[in-house]
Structure 1
Amino acid sequence: MSDWKVICRIDDIPVLGARRVARPAGLDVAVFRNAENEVFALLDRCPHKGGPLSQGIVFGTSVACPLHNWAIGLDDGCAKAPDEGCTPKFAVKVEDGVVHLDAAELATHAIDLERPVAGPKPFAVLSVLPLE
């Protein structure tokens, strides 16, 4: 049996928008609301380059990543073809207008994942030898 944590009221999430839920460990969780008042929760990280999905535009049951416009399914966290990759999803329950997330998942699910750093990889530093 799951222990559910109260997150907010459904009206606290904008229609076609999201809110972030901070966790003691790991990346934030993004909680989304679509036009049909369905609520979904995903790790706030695009599987492509780590963009913050909570800043994306919700349409239907997808969210467009704000960095490169990848469409990510809100129900499964997976990129829509032709793109590939998934971000972890979280269990959500809405009762009497109140949004709940599974407390155990919040504490343990995907806490080892990090947001990639944008930009080129750093170059190795070479020591310069004196010419003889």
Structure 2
Amino acid sequence: MKLSIYHDGQFFIGIVEFKESKQSKFIKHTFGKEPGYDEILWFVDKQLLASLDGTKTTVAMKKDKKRINPKRLQRLVSREQKQFKHLSKAHAAIKEEQELNKKQRKVKSKVERDALKEKKRRMKRQKFKEKHKGH
């Protein structure tokens, strides 16, 4: 599991990458203007696992077969921390999750809207029947 925090110009954004065998899940969390150590720990302790369970999209990843020398790995990590990361796979996975949620929300709102229309139609019909009952 990997948490990357970057500044997008307005807010600090955290992107979590969770790898299981050959698949990865990504989560995006907005921390706000300037997150403190406590806020980041609270997110990791309280909210991270629930967010991971709620994520439905996964991305297939290639498995690295080569073992890397620990010193080289340490140098790579330090270089990676210094550079701005363009997390294209993470952004694509998060975007796909947002689109999925958007479709579900549209279907739900359409069902609710249709139910409300039907209820109004029944109420109108009921009023009409009560009004013209004795005639």
* TM-score bracket relative to the smaller structure: 0.3 to 0.5
Structure with larger RCO (C-alpha < 8 A, sep 6+): 1
Report the structure, 1 or 2, having the larger strand content. Answer: 1
TM-score normalised per structure 1: 0.33
TM-score, normalisation: structure 2: 0.32
